[in-house]
Amino acid sequence: MTPSSHDDALGARLEQRVANLEKIAVSLPVVAAEALLMLSLFLPFVTVTSYSRDDEVVNLWQLGLAFFGVLPASSAGLSSGDVDAVGVLFGVAFLGLLVVLLCSIAGLVVVARGHVSARAARVLTAIGVLLVVGAAGAWLVIGLGSTSESPWLPEAGSLTVVAGAVLAALVTFLPAFRGIWLRH
């Protein structure tokens, strides 16, 4: 074996090791973000306190469907009555957040695989922006709900949405991570 072929073999092995370490560096936050986003789909999102009845713990699915009028409002701890325009707006927003959460989970699987095309990277960036905006909007709604007659208190699901959105945004937007999963 000549010295140059030995150096080439060592260089190739070193490149492979660095590529494996980079894949691990991207995979760890991706798996954590996916786990947090999946948990947020099933964990309680808010507790609706009431002076006239027991407190109710509500998840994202119940919020979206109750605001939109598919479920009875009382199933999500909301005051019963006719569905109004604001309720439909909030329902669409919470259902939109659910769709974005599901798209983010799927997008993070693509990121974990690596070798993402430029078109897919643009789609993933748009999903990341929507996820961050949706998580911030959900917290604004919780803030609005905390001042009503039946205050809303954040639960574990609302915290995992934010933590998952932050991790997903870091993986999607930080140049160090983006450079790894965009490589061809």
Whether residue 152 has pLDDT greater than 60: yes
Sign of CA dihedral 26, 27, 28, 30: positive
Among 9, 29, 55, smallest CA distance to 112 is for 29
- Rounded CA separation 62/43 (Å): 11
Per-residue pLDDT tens for 110-132? 988 888 888 999 999 999 999 99
| Residue 78 confidence (pLDDT) | 53
| Residue 36 confidence (pLDDT) | 96
Task: Find the domain containing 58 and state its range.
Answer: 3-181
Whether residue 145 has pLDDT greater than 80: no
| Residue 184 confidence (pLDDT) | 43
The answer to whether the predicted template modeling score (pTM) of the entire model surpasses 0.75 is yes
Per-residue pLDDT tens for 16-37? 999 888 888 888 999 999 999 9
- For residue 184, give both structure tokens: 């061809």
Provide the mean pLDDT of the chain: 82
- Rounded CA separation 173/177 (Å): 8
If one counts the domains in the chain, the total is: 1
